[in-house]
């Protein structure tokens, strides 16, 4: 893998942080799809299908590697500014190795059981000292990381938008790895992965299958999980409880050597949350099977995205080379140890 420096999870990272491409607002690109059909993209042969699927998956994975690179450079900026030192690692680039198309589908459904849920990639540690900062210091660090202004934004031809952080170290990192022109990357990424129109899951088949899934999950004791993607958030939420309980257990153990009874309760709490995690994961897998959700979503996904990708085929393959160039530029910055 390319990375020499692992990025750190910043405190309150979810708060006020502009998403990368999650702000792509779904809108129907009817004209584009009609044009694609008129050009015969609905009659792509199986060889074209596989070629575009492979490129789509590779580009999606490249974008995740890009996000890791951006986080690494932003973290370097914060380290050099004296805000953090040896921050806790929260992203392992090696987890993106050997991923096939099933990883891509984990983004619109529950994570594939063969890949593992988010907990499989969490590090065992004894806490994040950054989260323990006083509120004033935590806010100062947050502002240094993301700035206090509005994110940069571009509008795609169908009216959907793409946002990225333009302030703080995140903004400096974005400008540095893109040589001052991040718009080109985000436009190409949207076209190269079919993200201009993300309405693939609005069809009757998908909606009916998800309704069956939701009824199944309700019977399993999870009525609040209305969509398959909700399971990802549920598991991450449970993992935060596991992390907190383990942190408390460590503190209690360090401060009370020999008092095994003190941290026994915390261990029980960890096990309780792990059991709940196992329950929701197993229920999700069973309900996917009952609703035949994986097959239905997969077919709908490709039926929707392949025509878009065929329409933008030059961008699909040009993006691969361009993204690798951006990632290598980030690596050069990390090797140099400072932003230009």
Residue 319 pLDDT: 94
Predicted confidence at residue 126, as pLDDT, reads: 34
pLDDT for position 244: 73
Q: Is 309 among the domain residues?
A: yes
Write down the pLDDT at residue 321.
Answer: 92
pLDDT of residue 267: 74
Q: How many CB atoms are located within 10 Å of the residue 293 CB?
A: 21
Q: Exposed, middle or buried: residue 243 (CB in 10 Å: 0-12, 13-18, 19+)?
A: buried
Q: Which residues contact 62 (CB under 8 A, 6 or more apart)?
A: 319, 320, 323, 324, 327
Domain assignment present for residue 19? The answer is no
Structural domain tally of the chain?
A: 1
Q: How far lies 7's CA from each of 66, 102, 121, 312, in Å? A: 12, 26, 15, 33
Q: What is the DSSP letter of 19?
A: P
Q: Is residue 22 part of a domain?
A: no
Instruction: Classify residue 5: in a domain, yes or no.
Output: no
Output DSSP code: residue 9.
P
pLDDT of residue 57: 82
Show Cβ contacts of residue 335 under 8 Å, excluding neighbours closer than 6 positions: 4
Total residues found in the chain within this entry: 340
The answer to whether residue 113 sits within a structural domain is: yes
Among 321, 324, 22, which Cα is nearest to 195's?
A: 22
For residue 187, give the nearest of 18, 21, 17, 19 by alpha carbon: 21
In-domain check, residue 13: no
Residue by residue, DSSP assigns 295-331 as HHHHHHHHHHHHHHHHHTHHHHHHHHHHHHHHHHHHH
The CA distance from 185 to 319, in Å, is 8
> Is residue 141 a part of any domain in this protein?
yes
**C-beta separation of 24 from 161 below 8 A:** yes
To the question of pTM greater than 0.85 for the whole model, the response is no
pLDDT tens for the 340 residues of the chain, in order? 343 333 344 433 333 333 322 322 222 222 222 233 334 445 567 788 888 888 888 888 888 889 888 988 988 898 888 887 654 343 334 444 444 444 344 444 443 433 333 333 333 333 344 556 677 877 888 888 888 878 888 887 667 788 888 899 999 999 999 988 899 999 888 888 877 777 888 899 999 999 999 999 999 999 999 888 888 778 777 777 777 776 665 555 554 454 444 455 557 777 887 888 888 888 988 999 999 988 898 888 888 888 888 888 898 999 999 999 999 999 999 889 889 9
Provide the Cα torsion 157, 163, 164, 167; round to 10°: 120
pLDDT at 45: 74
Buried b (16+ CB within 10 A) or exposed e, 47-71: eeeebbbebbbbbbbbbbbbebbbb
For residue 71, the enclosing domain spans: 30-336
Q: Which residues pair with 162 in a beta bridge?
A: 154
User: What is the token pair recorded at 83?
Assistant: 């805000």
Closest CA to 58 of 111, 99, 1: 99
Whether 21 maps to a domain, the answer reads no
Dihedral angle computed from the Cα positions of residues 16, 21, 26 and 32, in that order, rounded to the nearest 10 degrees: 150
| Pair 182, 175: CB distance under 8 Å | yes
């Amino acid at each position: 893998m390319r990375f020499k420096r692992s990025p750190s999870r910043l405190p309150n990272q979810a708060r006020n942080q502009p998403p990368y491409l999650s702000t792509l607002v779904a809108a129907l690109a009817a004209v584009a799809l009609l044009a694609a059909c008129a050009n015969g993209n609905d009659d792509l042969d199986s060889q074209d299908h596989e070629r575009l699927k492979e490129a789509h998956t590779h580009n999606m994975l490249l974008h995740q590697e890009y996000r890791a690179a951006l986080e690494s450079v932003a973290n370097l900026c914060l380290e050099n500014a004296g805000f953090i030192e040896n921050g806790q690692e929260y992203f392992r680039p090696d987890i993106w190795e050997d991923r096939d198309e099933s990883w891509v589908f984990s983004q619109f459904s529950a994570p594939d059981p063969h890949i593992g849920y988010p907990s499989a990639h969490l590090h065992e540690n004894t806490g994040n000292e950054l989260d323990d900062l006083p509120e004033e210091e935590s806010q100062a660090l947050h502002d240094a990381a993301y700035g206090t202004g509005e994110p940069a934004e571009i509008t795609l031809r169908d009216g959907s938008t793409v946002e990225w952080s333009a302030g703080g170290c995140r903004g400096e990192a974005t400008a540095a790895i893109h040589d001052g022109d991040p718009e080109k990357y985000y436009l190409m990424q949207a076209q190269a992965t079919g993200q201009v129109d993300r309405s693939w899951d609005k069809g009757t088949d998908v909606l009916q299958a998800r309704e069956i899934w939701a009824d199944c999950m309700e019977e399993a004791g999870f009525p609040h999980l209305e969509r398959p993607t909700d399971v990802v958030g549920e598991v991450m939420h449970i993992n935060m409880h596991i992390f907190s309980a383990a942190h408390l257990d460590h503190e209690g153990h360090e401060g009370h050597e020999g008092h095994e009874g003190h941290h026994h309760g915390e261990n029980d709490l960890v096990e309780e949350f792990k059991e709940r995690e196992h329950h929701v994961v197993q229920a999700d897998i069973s309900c996917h099977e009952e609703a035949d959700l994986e097959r239905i979503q997969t077919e709908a996904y490709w039926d929707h995205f392949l025509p878009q990708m065929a329409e933008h085929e030059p961008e699909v393959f040009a993006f691969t080379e361009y993204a690798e160039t951006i990632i290598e530029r980030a690596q050069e910055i990390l090797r140099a140890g400072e932003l230009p």
